[in-house]
Amino acid sequence: MSAEQPAGVKKDWCTTCQLVRPARAGHCRLCGRCVRRLDHHCVWINSCVGEQNHQAFILALSFFLFTSVYGITLTLHTICRGRTPFVALFYCPGAYSDYSSALSFTCVWYCAIVTAGMGYILLIQLLNISYNVTEREVRLALRDNTGHRLLGGLVIDTGQYNRGLLCNWGHFLSLGSSPPQRSAEDIV
């Protein structure tokens, strides 16, 4: 058995694609195809996040958060001089004194809300990588009541693919680096 498919895990049949799916593959209703190690379909990039692009997705989330926090900090330093960004976010006298600073301050708040949401998504993704589970597997485990809740419910460990923190991260970092052998029955 491969490292991706432990003993006791069998391939299944996709009734839509009419193909045998490898373990951890899933069919995306929006894309209309099966994807290896399907995590989720992301509406922001209009694509499935799976084996071939999961690393790029994590990198994109990380860059988004870095640039967003940088932009928020830069704007708050400009509008609310002499205050730390966190204090300025909640107390910035004069932020609404003129139109441009009021608009900038309002945009900072909207950006902070979106950044907090994206930070939560990145946190969940990093925890899932640490336990070697995908969002699809988490949803299925919750539906079937087969997973174990960890870290206050932030992580659902299915226990099926978890090999420990370092091995899980090593596996994630090597995703897509060597394309699997393709046969007529394999999927995208």
Residues 53-69 as b/e (b if ≥16 CB within 10 A, e otherwise) read bbbebbeebeebbeebe
Q: How many helices (H) and strands (E) does the chain have?
A: 5, 8
Name the DSSP letter for residue 161: S
Q: Are 51 and 36 spatial neighbours (Cβ–Cβ below 8 Å)?
A: yes
Distance CA 45, CA 48 (A): 8
> Does residue 42 carry a catalytic annotation?
yes
Q: Which residues pair with 21 in a beta bridge?
A: 12
From 42, 48, 107, 167, active-site residue: 42
Residues 6+ apart with CB under 8 A from 188: 33, 34, 35, 36
Q: Which residues are catalytic?
A: 42
